[in-house]
Amino acid sequence: MGFIVTMRTFDRTRPGWGPRGRSGPGGLDEAVQYAREREQFGKKIISFQAVQHILADMATLVEAARALVYSVARYVDHSENPKEISKVSGMAKVFASDVAMKVTTDAVQIFGGYGYMRDYPVEKMMRDAKILQIYEGTNQIQRNVIGLELNKEYAGKKGTR
């Protein structure tokens, strides 16, 4: 029973891995601050439309990940179905940790060459975000769990193509 207990424990802790360490929101904060300070061609780079679009996408992803994690946390607290918890906790972990990786990679892009230097925090945030995709079941394994549960869920439904 030890393995089953461990897996069920992970199902309840897994959603928290995506936002851990504030990699996504922290990367966004750092990128916005840097874009407001950095000048290129006589203008702050935040005034460039391409930079604004990257920042807007980063902010949207961070908020979407936050909403999913909160929603799944509420669901996990009130659900009695362990298989359903596995599916939704995997979804929260996959999405939030992928968002953390994307946002920190975009933050490094905003910083340009400085983004790789240890003098700036986004380099470490990007490395920290990567491990979130690995801990408590890699995102690939989580996608397997989600896919298997979806297959079972839809196997009993009539009228599907």
Q: What per-residue confidence (pLDDT) applies to 137?
A: 84
Q: What per-residue confidence (pLDDT) applies to 157?
A: 78
The CA-CA-CA angle for residues 16, 57, 20, to 5°, reads 15
Q: What per-residue confidence (pLDDT) applies to 1?
A: 78
Q: What is the pTM of this model?
A: 0.86
Query: DSSP state, 14?
Result: G
84 assigned to active site: no
So where are the chain's domains? 11-155
Among 30, 136, 149, 153, which one carries the catalytic annotation? 136
Q: How crowded is residue 156: how many other Cβ atoms within 10 Å of its Cβ? A: 7
Q: What per-residue confidence (pLDDT) applies to 79?
A: 82
Q: What per-residue confidence (pLDDT) applies to 136?
A: 81
Q: What per-residue confidence (pLDDT) applies to 52?
A: 98
Whole-angstrom CA distances from 34 to 14, 40, 53, 64 are: 32, 12, 15, 23
**Sheet strands (E) in the chain:** 39-40, 43-44
Model confidence pLDDT, tens digit, residues 15-52? 666 555 567 788 999 999 999 999 999 999 999 999 99
CATH topology of domain 11-155: Butyryl-CoA Dehydrogenase, subunit A; domain 3 (1.20.140)
Q: What per-residue confidence (pLDDT) applies to 122?
A: 94
Q: What per-residue confidence (pLDDT) applies to 77?
A: 86
Name residues of the chain where pLDDT drops below 70: 3, 7, 9, 11-22, 159-161
Angle between helices 2-13 and 82-111 (to 10 degrees): 50
